Amino acid sequence: MNNREIVQDVIHAFLNGNIEQALAQRSEEVQVGWPGFLELPAGKEAVRNFFRNMPELVSGRITGLISEGNKVAGTGTITGKDKEGTFRNSFFCDVYELENGKPVRLQNYMVFEQLQETAVY
Share the mean pLDDT of the chain: 91
Q: Which residues pair with 77 in a beta bridge?
A: 61, 91
Maximum CA extent, the chain: 47
User: Do the domain assignments include residue 102?
Assistant: yes
Please indicate, yes or no, if residue 120 is contained in any of the structural domains.
no
Residues of the domain holding 23? 3-112
Nearest to 49, CA basis, from 11, 23, 82 = 23
pLDDT band at 28 (very low <50, low <70, confident <90, very high): confident
Cα 3 to Cα 70: distance, rounded to the nearest angstrom: 7
As for how many domains the chain has, the answer is 1
- What are 62-117's pLDDT values in tens digits? 999 999 999 999 999 999 998 889 899 999 999 999 999 899 999 999 999 886 66
Please report, for the domain that includes residue 8, its CATH number: 3.10.450.50
**CB distance 74 to 61 below 8 Å:** no
pTM of this prediction?
0.86
pLDDT above 90 covers what percent of the chain?
66
Q: Is residue 118 part of a domain?
A: no
Nearest partner of 91 among 113, 114, 67, judged by Cα = 113
